[in-house]
Amino acid sequence: MSDNASVYLDNHATTRIDPDVFESMIPWFTDSYGNAGSGTHVMGTSARDAVESARRRVADTVGATAREIVFTSGATESVNLAIAGVVSRQPSGQCVVPVTEHVAVLDVVDQLERNGLSVCRVPVAAKDTETPGALDLNLLDEMIGAGTSLVSVMFANNEIGTVHPISAIADIVHSHGALLHVDCAQAIGNCSIDVTTSGADLASFSAHKCHGPKGVGALYVRRQQRIVRINPQVFGGGQERGLRSGTLNVPGIVGMGHACELASKRLDESIEQMTTLRAKLWDLLVDTIPGIQLNGPLLDRGVRLPNNLNVLIPGIDGSTLLAELSRTGVAASAGSACSSEQPRPSHVLLALGLSEEEVRQSIRFGLSRMTTSQEIQSASERLQAAIQSLGSA
């Protein structure tokens, strides 16, 4: 790569669309542009068939059956449909969520709480423990009350990469007669997912986190072993078995199906590649940046996303550093892109016990299967130069 080439390390926010995925979408914009709900002509039925083919691909990737997949506009809508869909059936129940959940979860439960829902927020392990960000399953068991209707836990944290033991959590949740929703936005393409064997009742996905298009996602609603019922939140045409009305985004759905299929085929190779490059980046940073600290679980314990690295650089303001990195062509972030319009200290890092000052000195790197060793080397060099530049300013 050239010295001036951009280095994109913000793959928790979004990923580059795979060229093969993009190519698979083009005909559904230009030639076969029928509405999947129009069954009276070939273009409509072709679109419907393409949607059903994509549905099977997504289902195969996550260990579901096709009839358990509901297409949405993305993980945020899927999360809202899952949580509000369950709560609206049991409005007097309780919802339990860890304090480190994505804002898509926290904001919807906050809104439902204002409307009368009882919400229980579970703390996580602190920064000085063996697995920062992890849930104490005994504490979770204690905090799930008799009236709990839903527990929502992310598969893997988008800021510090903590991977939660979903099967064990599902056993606890089900012992209380509650349902489990799992936010899998960060896991797809980075972890092996089987919603059936893990015990999830509902699970949310987004295409653009695994080299698919933006604006399309899916919600898994269990129909095997036990049937999970939720109330729709969008009404109109009765699409998606009445659970999510609206004209289907056929090109996006086709792209999501193809992206999921590719992510599944390349999963083992991708995990090995990202783990190796993440370790290289960390080693380079440790060797060149005095006092740098790791936020989140240790890298070699198998309880962290393979593409995640969140670090604290003492004495350097993270926002200023990110601006300097951006000027040199390196894309990284301070945390969740979904809350970047309202910048505030990361609720995830604060939950680990970091001070506001420490949180503001932290930045996040997110790799993907498209990240190269040369990019990691270049990013490290540019980061070191940026820190030196800020230190001498």
Active-site annotation, residues = 338
Confirm if 258 and 51 have CB atoms less than 8 A apart. Answer: no
Of the CA atoms within 13 Å of residue 81, those in its CB half-sphere come to: 30
If one counts every other C-beta atom within 10 angstroms of the C-beta of residue 27, the result is: 14
Measured in degrees and rounded to the nearest 5, phi and psi for residue 30 equal -105, -40
Spatial distance between the Cα atoms of 340 and 332, rounded to a whole number of angstroms: 13
For residue 340 the two structure tokens come to 């970047």
Using alpha carbons, select from 97, 76, 95 the residue that is nearest to residue 86.
Answer: 95
Q: What is the DSSP letter of 156?
A: B
∠ CA 42-46-47, rounded to 5°: 120
Q: Counting Cβ atoms within 10 Å, is residue 56 exposed (0-12), middle (13-18) or buried (19+)? A: middle
Distance CA 320, CA 367 (A): 21
| Closest residue by Cα to residue 28 from 244, 255, 256 | 255
Residue 118 pairs with which residues in a beta bridge?
Answer: 94
Q: Which residues contact 377 (CB under 8 A, 6 or more apart)?
A: 280, 284
Q: 53: exposed, middle or buried (C-beta count within 10 Å: 0-12, 13-18, 19+)?
A: middle
Chain Cα centroid distance, residue 82: 15
CA 52, CA 50: separation in Å to the nearest integer? 5
| CA contacts within 13 A on the Cβ side of 299 | 20
Cα 183 to Cα 200: distance, rounded to the nearest angstrom: 10
DSSP-derived letter for residue 184 is -
Cα distance between residue 154 and residue 308, in whole Å = 15
